[in-house]
Amino acid sequence: MHANDGTPGDSESPAMPASSTNDSSPIYLTPASTPPSSPTATPTGIPLGQLLPTSTITDTLTPTETDTGTPTPGTLKTLGRNLSEFGSNTCVLTDQNTVECWGFNQSGQVGDGTTVDRPTPYPVKGLSGEIIAVAVGGMHACVLIFPGSMQCWGDNRYGQLGDGTTANRSAAVPVKVVSGKISGMALGAWFTCVVTELGAVECWGHNDHGQLGNGTTTDNLSAVKVGGLGSGMVSVSAGTATACAIDAAQTPNCWGWGMSGIIGDGGETDRFHAAGLRGLSTGVNNISVDGNFACAVNIYGMGYCWGDNTYGQLGNGSLDSTLSPVAVAERAEYFYEIKVSANFACGLTAIGHVHCWGFGDHGLLIGAGKPCQESAYCTPQIIGGLGLAAALSVGDMQACIITNAGEVKCWGDNRFGMLGDGTKISQPPPGVFIHL
């Protein structure tokens, strides 16, 4: 992150791969026996809302795509339950109650006790308890532990690990700065936010653009409460230097860095307290925010995006940026969730297909599609060959899914081994299966 390229961050900080958001959809604190619901071949609905009927909705698949989600290289012993990525790292929570990570490891964010880049999955050290979910930030990662604690590892220069220090950790350490139980979490580039059991949102770490939401731009090693939010918050998401939350009434609010209209309130000013979205004031299921833009899915499975649109990442058929939400171009399916990166977005539909748009990296991210200009895809393009997906995440220039069979599959840039296949060879869709 460098100030001269329009991205917030510390110009003296070591270079970090361009950011991309982690878990933007709600993380619900439930025992492992009942993991958060996700799309299947037979849709079961969307958290906090209900989709319109989808029984007659179909989409066009490529001739080589099947709907089984079954991998061709054989059956693996360990399956994925939840995954997250940001920048050049990916972590997966497995059905064995372990977390495995891979990719860039400069600050120990793989969590294997080293700072050596890992092109294949490595177990995170120091974890204990029943793990509910994993989330990845700029150069740190955390897990949510039942019944309401957190453990984190990786970069800690701004205290974003929440252990009360600024020492990097290459293995998991307990979060100590939150009093009471935690029900949800989100990790930004250099900061961390949580939803508490009382429905408040608290954040800590870097605060150069007001992303902690406490009315200042002062970094904090301790958790501070986000101002401007009502009670009953149920989910939080975080990006480069912006964060958003949704309450039980499905009302969204955002705060922090405002460049290109990423707050969605009609302006480009940094917001030190939470602000509502113009034209999308209620009925929102989930939000994903990163770089200079954000996207949301409403209770009817419709997608909306706002902010920078240089590469068509708003998905509305144009290259014009907007200061408030605009509808993503119509498709034959409804969205379950949308995940955004610095310059592209992918949506997981209610029946398990993946559509991506924005920067296509000459086919590496989006594959065969219809760009509106070179490497810019202004409308959602179905990613063929994946089968049906149960979970989706996006990183700097890569994306991964968990298939209906529980296997992890990734595609895109692989310069730091972030695809997890043991190589540094980039792969276009449908990508490669990861052996956990």
Domains and CATH numbers, the chain: 16-434 (2.130.10.30)
The neighbour count for residue 342, using CB atoms within 10 Å, is: 26
Mean pLDDT confidence for 348-356? 96
Query: CA–CA distance from 380 to each of 46, 86, 225, 282, 358 (Å)?
Result: 20, 21, 37, 24, 8
The neighbour count for residue 45, using CB atoms within 10 Å, is: 13
The reply to whether omega before 430 is within 30° of 0 (cis) is: yes
Strand intervals (E) in 75-129: 80-86, 89-94, 99-103, 118-123
Q: What is the pLDDT of residue 392?
A: 96
Q: What is the pLDDT of residue 370?
A: 83
Is the pLDDT score of 335 beyond 70? yes
9 phi, psi to nearest 5 deg = 155, 180
Cα–Cα distance measured from residue 397 to residue 436, given in angstroms and rounded to the nearest whole number:
21
Of 44-58, 159-173, 199-213, 366-380, which gets the smallest average pLDDT?
44-58
Q: What is the pLDDT of residue 53?
A: 26
DSSP of 201-216, one letter per residue? EEEEE--TTSTT-SSS
Cα–Cα distance measured from residue 194 to residue 167, given in angstroms and rounded to the nearest whole number:
21
Q: Report residue 117 as tokens.
A: 């880049």
Confidence of residue 62 (pLDDT cuts 50, 70, 90): very low
Q: What is the pLDDT of residue 133?
A: 96
Mean pLDDT confidence for 18-39? 35
Cα–Cα distance measured from residue 363 to residue 328, given in angstroms and rounded to the nearest whole number:
21
Cα–Cα distance measured from residue 56 to residue 43, given in angstroms and rounded to the nearest whole number:
12
Cα–Cα distance measured from residue 56 to residue 244, given in angstroms and rounded to the nearest whole number:
34
Q: What is the pLDDT of residue 256?
A: 98
Mean pLDDT confidence for 282-289? 96
Confidence of residue 26 (pLDDT cuts 50, 70, 90): very low
pTM beyond 0.75, yes or no: yes
Cα–Cα distance measured from residue 182 to residue 235, given in angstroms and rounded to the nearest whole number:
11
Q: What is the pLDDT of residue 86?
A: 82
Mean pLDDT confidence for 367-377? 85
Locate all alpha helices (DSSP H) within 274-362, ordered by sequence: none
What type of residue is 120?
Answer: T
Cα–Cα distance measured from residue 68 to residue 413, given in angstroms and rounded to the nearest whole number:
26
Q: What is the pLDDT of residue 201?
A: 98
Of 37-41, 122-126, 246-250, which gets the smallest average pLDDT?
37-41
* Strand order across the 130-136 sheet: 130-136, 140-146, 149-154, 169-174
User: β-strand 335-340 against 242-247: which pairing, if any?
Assistant: unpaired
Cα–Cα distance measured from residue 151 to residue 172, given in angstroms and rounded to the nearest whole number:
6
Q: What is the pLDDT of residue 315?
A: 97
Is the pLDDT score of 65 beyond 90? no
Q: What is the pLDDT of residue 361?
A: 82
Higher per-residue confidence, 342 vs 101: 101
**What residues have CB less than 8 Å from 257, skipping those under 6 apart?**
8, 209, 210, 211, 240, 241, 242, 270
> The tokens 């989330």 sit on which residue?
135
SS3 416: coil
Handedness of CA 176, 178, 181, 182 (dihedral sign): negative
Q: Report residue 82 as tokens.
A: 């939840």
Q: What is the pLDDT of residue 332?
A: 80
Q: What is the pLDDT of residue 411?
A: 96
Mean pLDDT confidence for 169-177? 97
> In 3D, which of 98, 85, 68, 139 has the Cα closest to residue 419?
85
- Average confidence score pLDDT of the chain: 84
Is the pLDDT score of 27 beyond 90? no
Cα–Cα distance measured from residue 99 to residue 86, given in angstroms and rounded to the nearest whole number:
16
Is the pLDDT score of 55 beyond 70? no
